[in-house]
Amino acid sequence: MSTPVRLLVLSDVHYAGASEQARRGHEALAIRNPLLRLVAHCYRKYVWLADPYSHNPLLDRIVAAEPCPDLVVANGDFNLDTQFVGVSDEASMESARECVDKLRAAYGDRLLLTIGDHELGKMSLFGGSGGLRLKSWNRTVGELGIRPLWHHTAGSWNLLGVTSTLIALPLFEPEILPAEKAAWERLRDLHLKEIERCFDAIPAGNPILLCCHDPSALPFLYSLPSVRRRLPDVQATLLGHLHSSTVFDASRWLAGMPSIRFLGNTVRRLSTALQQARYWKEFRPVLCPSPSGIELRKDGGYLTTVLAADVRSAPQFQQHRLIR
């Protein structure tokens, strides 16, 4: 690489195609308790997202603003996942395909895609519906063509994309169908071995830019000797999932908190992840916000950086705000 490479990073587009658009109010339908339904409504309206169906134009704005980057990382969550079972649901698959097709049409072979948790399915925050589905995995890899692990070189730079849900699968175990548990565990074992082989194959001293959707995976990566040995070469780890720097900062502040096991599976999974969040700093984490951000801050956008030809220079990321 004789010249610098300009990198565009976006994450958590949560595109809603026509079929998912027709499911307005999907979360409330999954919550039986009326008081909990009210809590969820207030949380979505004032803290998270008042209208998650309205943000498709933000993707078009990113593409219009960034027509010619040298490389693009799209760091997962391409659908709205209104049934909480990932792209095994036809409407969610339609959304993900439309989003991915737009990105591929804009960026072609410059585009690097990682798998997010909403491609595979994730239990709803309040209603306890859904979870991982093996069909979602097969469709993400087979039909959407998103590789679970990829390695792209740009000069001495090594960009690696991994699948966070597979790596952090123990946290999702209660969300897995019993009949699919063994298959998910085999996929995880294979993925971890491939990650170790990939890290071992990178020449010592070459800089690494890691792309991992959900930071919950980082403590599990830290447990792999081949990864831990190469952490001095990891110049940055690109994260998504948290949508906002406000959530990211709060997560780091809560690092080490005890696991909470009496308030349902989602709280258990989140608190267990935060218990291990002290390991995040070893990976030099950089959060890419969602295009929409969160309601509380309206701080959405995307990132750009330049991978310098002089590999001694760590990348400096610039956030570009999208006002909605």
pLDDT tens, position by position, 272-322: 666 677 888 999 999 999 999 999 888 999 999 999 877 766 789 999 999
pLDDT at 248: 83
pLDDT (tens digit, 9 = 90+) per residue, 1-41? 568 899 999 999 999 999 999 998 887 777 778 888 888 88
pLDDT band at 257 (very low <50, low <70, confident <90, very high): low
Tell me the pLDDT band of 269, cut-offs 50, 70 and 90.
Answer: low
**Which residue carries 């925050």 as its tokens?**
125
pLDDT in tens, 103-145: 999 999 999 999 999 999 998 877 678 999 999 999 999 999 9
- pTM confidence score: 0.92
Query: Structural domains in the chain?
Result: 5-312 (3.60.21)
Residue 192 pLDDT > 80 = yes
Residue 217 and residue 214: Cα distance in Å, rounded? 6
pLDDT at 57 (0 to 100): 97
**Cβ partners under 8 Å of residue 167, min gap 6:** 188, 191, 192, 195, 212, 217, 220, 221
- What is the rounded average pLDDT for all residues in the chain? 91
Of 36, 124, 126, 39, the C-alpha closest to 82 is 124
Across 138-142, 144-148, 169-173, least confident range: 169-173
